[in-house]
Amino acid sequence: MVQQLECSFQKSKITPFAEKLENPLSKQKISTLQINLGKRCNLACSHCHVDASPKRTEELSPEICQQLIAIIQKFPQIKVVDLTGGAPEMLHGFRPIVEAARETGKEVIVRSNLTIYFETGFRDIPEYCARHQVRVVASLPCYLEDNVDKMRGNGVYEKSIQALQWLNKLGYGQESSLILDLVYNPPLPTSEKFSLAPPQEALEQDYKKFLKEHFDIDFNYLLTITNLPIGRSKFHLEKYQLHQKYLGFLEQNFNPDTVDSLMCRNELSIDYLGNVYDCDFNQMENIPAKSTLNQKLTVMDLLKADNLDLIQDVKTANYCYGCTAGAGSSCGGALI
């Protein structure tokens, strides 16, 4: 693994994120619809900001599913439909939403833990995704087995490798229409020696070299994503009395050049109940998006208004420093 830059930081008082910005964080024209289909998952990863697990039961209802399909069909300005969870492949609405989005010419992303392919009832998912040319963004927080299993559970690395080989046989990572990306997350800290992710392009080459030499695996891009201090990551940091210090470290590494590219500016994040948020992180912290009239929004509100662009400014919080530290972080990886 590439050596990470480490930093010990003692600051306890955090500057509110909004005060770091020269202007309010304005919303731009919506082009991405990110849908969290629910919190049920076959894994319970230590860094999961959603708190997903096999014990969770929350998932999309048929009613909200139909509303989302109506949104997808109604608004050609939506270019990307990004499906997450939980394990999105095992949740209600996954296939109908994929098919509605592909029928209207939109790119579909599924954020997969890969191991779902080996669960009863979901073993046709790789072929299904290939048939519909779904872009697979797969979590592999390290290319070494021990590190992955520590974060995601024993045996996850082995199944992930098998799943990647399966996807390669279908053409993923090789054919231009079958994109396979991997996601790197830094290890959660247990001391004040915090670190940001290594440079994305260099780490991508390390991943490609190792996975090709050891497993004959090909993939397209590596996305480096900072662990934001919410969900299980926040619980972990609090356990080691590091939460405020980690926020201080992220603030210290704030990079204003990342702000223009923040994913929250041109996306809507929708939860399984149909509520609208600026991003998946605000969704998990229950900070709803507000209209220009300061009203909370739902998918039905968007349909009734016949307008996706009802939000003027993005709601921010101190964990936004995680998306703006260093080279930046988003669901699409580094920002600069």
Q: In terms of pTM, does the model score above 0.75?
A: yes
Our measurement of the distance from residue 216's CA atom to the centroid of its chain's CA atoms, rounded to an integer in Å, reads 26
Instruction: Going residue by residue through the chain, which has 336 residues, state the pLDDT in tens, using 9 for 90 and above.
Output: 444 444 444 445 899 999 999 899 999 999 999 999 999 999 988 778 888 999 999 999 999 999 999 999 999 999 999 999 999 999 999 999 999 999 999 999 999 999 999 999 999 999 999 999 999 999 998 898 988 988 888 899 999 999 999 999 999 999 999 999 999 988 889 999 999 999 999 999 999 999 999 999 999 999 999 999 998 899 999 999 999 999 999 999 999 999 999 999 999 999 999 999 999 999 999 999 999 999 999 999 999 999 999 999 999 999 999 999 999 999 999 999
Element spanning 270, H or E: strand 267-270
Structure token pair of residue 82: 């990004």
Closest CA to 159 of 108, 103, 87: 87
Asked if 255 contacts 328 with a C-beta cutoff of 8 angstroms, the reply is yes
Taking CA atoms, 336 is separated from 179, 204, 251, 327, in Å, by 21, 15, 17, 5
Short-list 99, 209, 142, CA closest to 1: 142
DSSP 101: H
DSSP conformational letter for 88: G
Q: HSE, CB side, 13 Å, CA atoms: give it for residue 48.
A: 24
Which residues, 6 or more positions from 23, have their beta carbon under 8 angstroms from its beta carbon?
Answer: none
- Pair 152, 142: CB distance under 8 Å: no
Pair of tokens at residue 148: 């992955």
Q: Rounded to 5 degrees, what are φ and ψ at 252?
A: -60, -30
